[in-house]
């Protein structure tokens, strides 16, 4: 039995050696293409806010947070321009540009109306959308 097993192994080795010698190996597959990193488009600006009422939320000032005593922080079309909306306390914003005491900001969250109006500017009051 042992002799038969060794003979079978020898035959298989001889066949595989003959097969490998006769047939060419397939060409090496090309390397996969480099991965393409897709970056999301930049967040569009929301408007201008007075920077005193939107202090930095982190040491690098990548985010500011609305901090006002009144019914909301006015978002304006230009520095010291007309207000177009107001934001409640705690709304996170991304500063895009600084001009004097004014910040051009983009929302750092999905904004939703509160169905209330800012009493100091008469514009819609918005807040971050809360997902449950």
In 3D, which of 75, 87, 74 has the Cα closest to residue 46? 75
Supply the pLDDT for residue 69: 80
Distances from the Cα of 55 to the Cαs of 48, 67, 103, in angstroms? Answer: 14, 7, 11
Q: Could you give the maximum distance between any two Cα atoms of the chain, in Å?
A: 101
Position with higher pLDDT, 31 vs 81: 81
Q: By percentage, how much of the chain surpasses pLDDT 90?
A: 48
Predicted TM-score (pTM) above 0.85: no
Token pair for residue 101?
């005491």
Size of the chain in residues: 132
Q: By percentage, how much of the chain surpasses pLDDT 70?
A: 80
Q: Which residues, at least 6 apart from 57, have a Cβ–Cβ distance to it below 8 Å?
A: 63, 64, 65, 92
Where do runs of H (alpha helix) occur along 40-110?
none
In 3D, which of 108, 99, 62, 96 has the Cα closest to residue 78? 99
Q: By CB neighbour count within 10 A (0-12 exposed, 13-18 middle, 19+ buried), where does 72 fall?
A: buried
């Amino acid at each position: 039995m042992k002799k038969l097993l060794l003979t079978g192994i020898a035959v298989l080795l001889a066949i595989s050696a003959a097969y490998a010698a006769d047939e060419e190996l397939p060409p090496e597959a090309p390397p996969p293409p480099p991965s393409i990193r897709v970056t999301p488009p930049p967040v569009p600006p929301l408007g201008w806010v007075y920077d005193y009422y939107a202090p930095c939320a982190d040491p690098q000032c990548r985010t500011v947070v609305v901090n006002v005593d009144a019914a909301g922080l006015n978002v304006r079309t230009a520095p010291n321009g007309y207000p177009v909306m107001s934001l409640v306390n705690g709304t996170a914003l991304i500063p895009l540009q600084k001009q004097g005491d004014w910040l051009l900001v983009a929302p750092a969250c999905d904004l939703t109306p509160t169905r209330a109006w800012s009493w100091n500017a008469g514009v819609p009051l918005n807040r971050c959308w809360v997902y449950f």
